[in-house]
Each structure stands twice: as structure tokens, then as C-alpha cells.
């Protein structure tokens, strides 16, 4: 998104409007590596080499030589594994280096890439990523290395099995259960005692004497037991809503802390975001943008999965959470590592450092923290939605800017003008914010595995 140094969006120069730096089309292009791997291997030369104690496959093709190594052949689920790609270029050039990890079912579980990397002729460079394995299943995983033209323009080289690593589960904890106490209640018992029959014989006369029958009833004493349940104290937080919707202009916005307890559980589909997703801000790095008082609320004080961070930002700034999901697909395909606009725009919301300098003034910022990135992005949306940008009516525009236009403010983030040069961004079939919103792209297998 573009804006001047005072926080006011400005129009991008002709031809420089920003689309998604990692669009679905780009994702499909990256996956061509899997489809074309056999062809590349046919012209390349795979050689098994040793990296420490882990065998790797070295592939030579298209004037690149690649391999990979891991710091351990076997790791316990939850451990971090250091994965290093080795890339040699036979000639001087720039390239994008792509490192991906797949499970045994062929699903991608990790990706990190380094765009626009320089090589001198014959130079070998290494690229190391920390793979967080929490939440993954035990099994075999394959490391793949790709070389692409800068900005994913074309694939140059693919190593489909640069290294392998096995994940195992730790021994399950032993749980000792105390013996179960059993209480048996015996009902009252009636006991009847009969003395033996006595027979006396006298002079051929038989006399039978039967004492009267005696009945003795033994009753246990009546015991009364009063059981009082333990006192239980329950603290109830505000229940998580079914979904976060757009709040009207002038509404009282919830705090970040209130939203943190309302966020619903969500699985992580972008494990690559782990570090940035767990980088929490605080009031110590509250944003200093003075163009609207609400920017002071920006602090990035939340950690969670990528979808939970999306929910949190939607809650905090009162915007439909599905609009956020859709716009973040268009901006970054949900990758915090996305870096577009010639290296100027960063993260999930693609915050542009040249125009939003206040979003990068602390160590926790729109580049290092996923929560801070979306906190700032949707503070900017709310500033527009509240009617703060009246200057939009003094520059090129289509229609009159006014408070309360959800989609106009979504488009403003891209073009810096009111319904100018953002129609495709908002409405293009197949890859636009509205299209992703209407089709719930974030639920599709292609996106989830992308």
C-alpha cells in the first residue's frame, strides 16, 4: 500500500500498482517444480554426497548444482531442525532460492525462499532455515531445493530430493491413577434364630417339647451422612463469537486484550510463519503515526497461528474477518516472509516501508511480527472507514469519499486513491479480494497446501 510520509495514501506511478507478490498463479508456478522434477533430473546429474552424517542428493542442471543437509537425520516432533541448502552457480547471475519440505503424502509442510540472491561465477552459497516441527505427524520428510528467476518469473532448476529427515514421537508419559474407592451399602438384614428341636422319651410315652419360636431382628444403626460439594470459583470470559463482523462507524472498538480471549482455535497452515507469529509486541512499541489518533492502539500484542492473528486483527479493528482473510490472500498468500514492491513491502498485509515508516521504527515491527503487521494494516483501514481521509476528495477519484465504505477502504490500501486503479484488485475473477472473499479460498485444498 502506498502513502506519503504523513500517513496519507498516494497514487502509485503508472504501471507500478501492486498485485499479490505471491499470488495463486505464483504458487502454482512454484509447484511446477514437482511436476517437472523428472525432466530436470533427466538432464541433471544426481550424486549422493555426505553432509555430516546425513546423505544428500546433489543435482547438476541448468548450470546450477544443489544439495541440502539437515543437522540431524532423526528428530523428535516439536524439535527445531536446521535445514541448509547449498547452491552453486556456474556463472554470475541473480536468482531466487527456494527451500521446501514435504511429508510422505506429498503435502508441503514448510517453505522459505530468498529472492534476488547474487552469485559470482563458480560461487557456492548456503541458505539455512529453522524448521519448526511442532504439530506435525511422525514419518519421513523430503527436502527439496529450487532455483527460480527473480520474483518467481520462471523455474531454472529443481532438486526433488535434496535430503531426507525422519520425525519420531517421544515416549508417551506414564500416568499413575490412584486406586478407585468402592463403597458398598448393605441393606438392613432380618435374622431369625430357631433353637434345635428337643425330644424326651419317658416310659413309652413320647413327649415333644417345642419352645416358642424366637425371632431376633438385628438392624444396623441409622447413619446420616451430609456431603457438601467443594466450593468452585468460575471465571467466565466473554465467549468467542461465531465470527467477527464489521462494526459500524463510531463503534467502541474492543481492546487487543479483549480480542485475544475471544479468538477461536485454528490450525496452522503456514508453519513457515512460526517465528513472526510468535513475536509479540507491547505498549512499549505503540505506533507513533499521528495522522489519526487510533494508530496509537497499534502494538502487535498477540501471538497465535496465522488465522488466529487474522481473527485478532479483525476483532480489534472491527472488520469482517473473512475480508481480512481474503485481502491477505491477495497481498501475501498468507506468507509473512512475502516481500514485494521491489523489496519495499513486507509481510501478511504488505506494509510498504517507504510510506509507512512508523510501522518499522521498533525491533518488533511490520516485518518481524505478523501481529504487528496486521495490527497496522487494519488500523489504516479503520482510519479510512471512520472518514479520517477527507483529503481524498481533493485529488483524483471516482465518486465522493465518505465514511462507512468497507470496500472503498480495502481498495485504497492498494492504489492510494478512491476507486482509482484498483478495480482488478477488488473485483478480478480468479484473483481479487472480493473473489477470494466470495469463494472462501482459504478453505480450499489448493490454498491450504500452497
- Among 147-161, 218-232, 289-303, 345-359, where is mean pLDDT lowest? 218-232
- Position 255 pLDDT exceeds 90: yes
- Position 332 pLDDT exceeds 50: yes
> Given pLDDT bands bounded at 50, 70 and 90, which one contains residue 183?
very low
Range 301-311 average pLDDT: 96
Return the H-helix or E-strand segment holding 340: strand 339-340
Q: Give the range with max mean pLDDT: 52-61, 153-162, 275-284.
A: 275-284
SS3 188: coil
Q: What is the pLDDT of residues 33-58, one digit of tens each?
A: 333 333 333 334 555 444 444 456 89
The domain made up of 256-448 has a fold known as Lysozyme (1.10.530)
- Position 240 pLDDT exceeds 80: no
What's the pLDDT at 293?
Answer: 93
With a pLDDT cut of 90, the percent of the chain lying above it is 62
CA atoms within 13 A on the CB side of 196: 2
Range 270-278 average pLDDT: 96
Name the average pLDDT for the chain.
80
Higher pLDDT, 34 or 138: 138
Higher pLDDT, 18 or 72: 72
Range 383-395 average pLDDT: 97
Residue-range domain boundaries for the chain: 24-168, 256-448
- The packing angle between helices 370-385 and 306-317, to 10°, is 30
Let me know if the fold of 24-168 is the same as that of 256-448. no
Number of CB atoms found within 10 A of residue 387's CB: 16
Cβ atoms of 387 and 402 closer than 8 Å: yes
Contacts for 235 with CB less than 8 Å, ≥ 6 apart: none
CA distance 223 to 243: 55
Q: What is the pLDDT of residues 184-220, one digit of tens each?
A: 444 444 444 444 444 443 344 444 445 454 444 445 5
308, exposed or middle or buried, with CB in 10 Å at 0-12, 13-18, 19+? buried
CA distance 244 to 310: 10
- With 0.85 as the threshold, say if the pTM is over it: no
> CA dist 159 to 41, 144, 282, Å?
8, 6, 42
Provide the pairing of β-strand 155-168 with 74-76. Answer: parallel
How far does the chain reach from its first CA to its final CA, in angstroms?
Answer: 24
- Position 390 pLDDT exceeds 80: yes
CA distance 79 to 436: 35
Strands (DSSP E) found in 39-79? 47-51, 54-61, 64-70, 74-76
The domain made up of 24-168 has a fold known as Coagulation Factor XIII; Chain A, domain 1 (2.70.50)
Amino acid at each position: 500500500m502506498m502513502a506519503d510520509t504523513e500517513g496519507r495514501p498516494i497514487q502509485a506511478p503508472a504501471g507500478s500498482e501492486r498485485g499479490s507478490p505471491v499470488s495463486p498463479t505464483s504458487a502454482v508456478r512454484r509447484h511446477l517444480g514437482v511436476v517437472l522434477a523428472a525432466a530436470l533430473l533427466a538432464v541433471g546429474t544426481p550424486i549422493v554426497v555426505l553432509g555430516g552424517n546425513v546423505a544428500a542428493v546433489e543435482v547438476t542442471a541448468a548450470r546450477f548444482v544443489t544439495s541440502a543437509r539437515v543437522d540431524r537425520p532423526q528428530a523428535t516432533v516439536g524439535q527445531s531442525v536446521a535445514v541448509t541448502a547449498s547452491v552453486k552457480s556456474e556463472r554470475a547471475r541473480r536468482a531466487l532460492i527456494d527451500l521446501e519440505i514435504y511429508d510422505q503424502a506429498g503435502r508441503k509442510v514448510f517453505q522459505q525462499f530468498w529472492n534476488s540472491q547474487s552469485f559470482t561465477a563458480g560461487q557456492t552459497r548456503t541458505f539455512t532455515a529453522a524448521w519448526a516441527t511442532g504439530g506435525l505427524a511422525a514419518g519421513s520428510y523430503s527436502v527439496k531445493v529450487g532455483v527460480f528467476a527473480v520474483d518467481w518469473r520462471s523455474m531454472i532448476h529443481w532438486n526433488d530430493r535434496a535430503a531426507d529427515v525422519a520425525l519420531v514421537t517421544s515416549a508417551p508419559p506414564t500416568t499413575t491413577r490412584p486406586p478407585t474407592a468402592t463403597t458398598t451399602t448393605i441393606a438392613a438384614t432380618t435374622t431369625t434364630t430357631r433353637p434345635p428341636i428337643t425330644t424326651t422319651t419317658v416310659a413309652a410315652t413320647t413327649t415333644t417339647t417345642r419352645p416358642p419360636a424366637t425371632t431376633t431382628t438385628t438392624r444396623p444403626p441409622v447413619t446420616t451422612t451430609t456431603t457438601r460439594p467443594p466450593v468452585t470459583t468460575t471465571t467466565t470470559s466473554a465467549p468467542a463469537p461465531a465470527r467477527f463482523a464489521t462494526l459500524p462507524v463510531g463503534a467502541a472498538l474492543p481492546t487487543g486484550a479483549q480480542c485475544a480471549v475471544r479468538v477461536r482455535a485454528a490450525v496452522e497452515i503456514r508453519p513457515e510463519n512460526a517465528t513472526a507469529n510468535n513475536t509479540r509486541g507491547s505498549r512499549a512499541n505503540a505506533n507513533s503515526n499521528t495522522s489519526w489518533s487510533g494508530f496509537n492502539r497499534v502494538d502487535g500484542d498477540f501471538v497465535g497461528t496465522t488465522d488466529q492473528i487474522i481473527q485478532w486483527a479483525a476483532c480489534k479493528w472491527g472488520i469482517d474477518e473473512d475480508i481480512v482473510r481474503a485481502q491477505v490472500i491477495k497481498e501475501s498468500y498468507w506468507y509473512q516472509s512475502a516481500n514485494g514492491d521491489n523489496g519495499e513491502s513486507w509481510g501478511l498485509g504488505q506494509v510498504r516501508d517507504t510510506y509507512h515508516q512508523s510501522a518499522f521504527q521498533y525491533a518488533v515491527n511490520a516485518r518481524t511480527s505478523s501481529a504487528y503487521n496486521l495490527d497496522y494494516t487494519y488500523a489504516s483501514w479503520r482510519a479510512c472507514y471512520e472518514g479520517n481521509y477527507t483529503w481524498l476528495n481533493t485529488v483524483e477519484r471516482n465518486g465522493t469519499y465518505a465514511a462507512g465504505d468497507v470496500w472503498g477502504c480495502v481498495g485504497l490500501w492498494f492504489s492510494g486513491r478512491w476507486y482509482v486503479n484498483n478495480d482488478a484488485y477488488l473485483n478480478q475473477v480468479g484473483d481479487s479480494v472480493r473473489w477470494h472473499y466470495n469463494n472462501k479460498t482459504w478453505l480450499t485444498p489448493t490454498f491450504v497446501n500452497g
